[in-house]
Amino acid sequence: MILRSLTVYKPRIHRPVSQSLLISSTLVQTLNLSSTETQDYEKFNPLKHKDWLSPTQMIKIFQNLKDPNSAFNLWTQISKRKDYNPNEELYSVVINRLGESKNFAAIETLMERIKLERNCRLSDGFFYSVIKIYGNVGGRINKAVETLFDMPNYKCWPSVKTFNFVLNLLVNTKQFDVVHEVYLGASKLGIEIDACCLNIIVKGLCKCGKLDSAFQVLDEFPKQNCKPNVRTFSTIMCALCDRGSIQEALGLLERMEKEGVEPDTITFNILISGLRKQGRVEEGIEVFKKLMHRGCDPNAGTYQEVLYGLLKAKRFVDAIGFMSMMIDRGVNPSFESYKLVICGLCEQNLTGQLDWVLKQMVKHGFAPRMGMWKRMVECLLRDSSDRCKRPSIELEGTVIEEKSSY
């Protein structure tokens, strides 16, 4: 009788309410979990395992979420557990998933919660990631700036890398007034200005057309114990060329040489392009030769700038010779180059060169369009007709064509 009672009796197990809620099927349905995620829940089910969820197990659950929209609800439930012991990696994973779903309100809520809890110390890399999500993913530039200046409240000071990222973000979004304010706040954040920071300021000033101020910042480099690099000079050169001040740009090249800053291929490309736009083709070719003598390797952009200069000057025969050199060096002319050469040859009745150009064009994967075919056929027919009309002189059985006066 006693044995029968023992076999029938089943002891009742009391489960924690928070754990039951986490693993319940209702929560799984609410979070729209996939079959894989459901298996993960079963795997880490505290009802089946005596051990609590470790931070690594929690991180894996968030990483495997199929729908990032459920990340905030899941974090809310997990944060109620007794074994909830967050670290930087967990916060990073949750915020990255929230960034994927563009749930920026949830990110702000989580950041405020982190500030209040202060359960773990956060690194500059963590805030760099948050700022990047605000700026690049959400376009929330103001929140990116606010997060930068709020970092000390989390007992973390920004690195110059994070500071420069925010500066560059402001320049790229043309918020030039805010750039100056953030730059002045460097000392409050314990930032030591470096050459990269000054280069960003120079870029911002050039973009808003304040070239005089850009030159002032250039003079400011030594005072900040920094040395301008090739990027500094190239940025100002590009702005000068865009404004048509090519002589000032060439003068800046001389200043570079005096200060021991070696120009690179990009620098020469900027100058050749500026000279081309002003029709100073020969000077552009001289700059190209100077680049070659210095041992710099011209890139595809360099060749194209020289070629476009020759085409703009209607020096089509020279352009064909230059194209041949490009091809020999493994640089393929652009489709636009072929188009301009063909049109120019037809315009000047230089039909003898059309065959080579057409073959090279097709060889490099470009197909002439109908308008180009029409132009070439008209040119060839016109040339054939002109030959038929030319007067000839018969001399001792030999027909000699009289050269045209043009």
What's the pLDDT tens digit per position in 22-39? 434 434 443 444 554 454
Residues 6+ away with beta carbon under 8 Å from 345 = 316, 351, 353, 354, 357, 379
Q: What is the pLDDT of residue 385?
A: 60
pTM: predicted TM-score of the whole model, two decimal places: 0.75
What's the pLDDT tens digit per position in 294-353? 878 889 999 999 999 999 999 999 999 999 999 999 999 999 999 999 999 888 888 888
Q: Kindly compute the dihedral angle of the four CA atoms of residues 99, 101, 103, 106, in this order, to the nearest 10 degrees.
A: -80
Residues 6+ away with beta carbon under 8 Å from 129 = 92, 95, 96
CA distances, 384 to each of 38, 142, 349, 398 (Å): 79, 69, 11, 20
- Give the residue ranges of the chain where pLDDT is below 50: 1-33, 36-37, 39-41, 43-50, 390-406
> How does DSSP assign 75-90, residue by residue?
HHHHTTSTT----HHH
How far apart CA 48 and CA 35 sit, in angstroms, is 19
